[in-house]
């Protein structure tokens, strides 16, 4: 059975200033998602599930569904604020999405096989898809998941702070903890994050999560249980989000799963801020010029 790719594309890109998922960055108008799907097809994925908001379904379909038909199976699912457990009333003040863990959960009915999860606006590199596909086909199980890790120093923006899940691994290459660090910046070669207004140093070689995960479908059972607990505890906090690293961390502490860290040597880049866009366009062009991708993908 071929694995599935789940693409998290419901975020509105507030720091970027628009729907960066639909921004045309490649030489023939390709988005980053085009390259993600192209790499996934080459790596042996058989289906792609896009998690989007209902409000931009038409634009999304016009851009993606028609050109991908016949190349890979496609399904759209919708992450909305009211996708919450029965018996719970949504606070009127809530406008923020429920987070990445919730975004994966809404794909439950569309995914029955081992699957990978990625962000729509991150360029992960072809090697990462191949490594993850190999894991999903050969090692994925109810008790073993995976995360594709990147060196922190290769994931920073020149134009503002970023948040990253900083990972610790054991001697066997399995994840021990993921600590979410925010306001990460580099100044004169020194990388720091802030917590309670205090700055703490990080190493550029630290492995971080860029939200590229490999899961067995058993994760959905855990997500349902954890999200119900989360929303009951955080319903009145209108900014609280249900992040997938927190779920994985809980499951590891409970001894229910292990997560292998696939340390990718692939090139990662993204468009957190609008100012990141020119560099991203140039990096994609360089990959095309070097023969890594055709000038026109589809």
Q: What is the pLDDT of residues 4-13, one digit of tens each?
A: 999 999 875 4
The SS3 of residue 195 is: strand
Which domain range does residue 17 map to? 4-150+208-289
98-110 confidence digits (pLDDT tens): 999 999 999 999 9
SS3 38: helix
Distance CA 188, CA 177 (A): 28
Model confidence, pTM: 0.91
Is 163 part of a structural domain of the chain?
no
Q: How many CA atoms lie within 13 A of 146 on its CB side?
A: 23
Give a yes or no: residue 160 inside a domain: no
Taking residue 239's Cβ as centre, other Cβ atoms within 10 Å add up to 9
**32-43 vs 126-138: helix crossing angle, rounded to 10:** 40
Cross-strand partners of 119: 8
Q: Which CATH number covers residue 55?
A: 3.90.550.10
Decide if 189 is inside a domain. Answer: no
Q: Quick one: pLDDT at residue 281?
A: 95
Q: Residue 84 domain-assigned?
A: yes
What is the per-residue pLDDT across 150-209, written as a single tens digit (0 to 9) for each? 999 989 888 889 989 899 999 999 999 888 898 999 999 999 999 988 999 999 999 999
Position 109 in a domain: yes
Q: For residue 19, what pLDDT is reported?
A: 61
Report how many domains make up the chain: 1
Mean pLDDT of 55-80: 89
Q: Is 297 inside a domain boundary?
A: no
Please indicate, yes or no, if residue 265 is contained in any of the structural domains. yes
Q: Is residue 179 part of a domain?
A: no
Is residue 25 within 8 A of residue 122, CB to CB? The reply is: no
**Are residues 202 and 193 in contact, defined by beta-carbon separation less than 8 angstroms?**
yes
């Amino acid at each position: 059975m071929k694995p599935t790719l789940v693409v998290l594309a419901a975020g509105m890109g507030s720091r970027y200033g628009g729907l960066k998922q639909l921004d045309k960055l490649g030489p023939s108008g390709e988005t980053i998602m085009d390259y993600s799907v192209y790499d996934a097809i080459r790596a042996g994925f058989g289906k792609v599930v896009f998690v989007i908001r209902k409000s931009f379904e038409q634009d999304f379909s016009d851009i993606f569904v028609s050109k991908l038909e016949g190349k890979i199976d496609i399904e759209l699912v919708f992450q909305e604020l009211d996708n919450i457990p029965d018996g719970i009333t949504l606070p009127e003040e809530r406008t923020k999405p429920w987070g990445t863990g919730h975004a994966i959960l809404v794909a439950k009915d569309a995914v029955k096989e081992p699957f990978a999860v990625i962000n729509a606006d991150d360029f992960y590199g072809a090697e990462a898809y191949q490594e993850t596909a190999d894991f999903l086909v050969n090692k994925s199980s109810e008790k073993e998941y995976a995360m594709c890790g990147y060196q922190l120093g290769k994931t920073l923006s020149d134009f503002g702070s970023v948040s990253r899940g900083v990972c610790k691994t054991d001697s066997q290459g399995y994840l021990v903890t993921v600590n979410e660090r925010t306001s990460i910046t580099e100044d004169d070669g020194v990388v720091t994050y802030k917590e309670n207004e205090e700055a703490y140093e990080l190493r550029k070689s630290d492995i971080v999560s860029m939200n590229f995960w490999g899961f067995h479908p058993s994760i959905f059972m855990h997500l349902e249980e954890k999200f119900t607990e989360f929303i009951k505890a955080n319903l009145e906090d209108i900014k609280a989000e249900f992040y997938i690293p927190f779920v994985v961390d809980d499951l590891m502490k409970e001894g229910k799963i292990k997560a292998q860290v696939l340390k990718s040597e692939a090139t990662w880049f993204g468009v957190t801020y609008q100012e990141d866009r020119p560099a991203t366009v140039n990096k994609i062009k360089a990959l095309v010029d070097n023969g890594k991708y055709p000038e026109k993908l589809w």
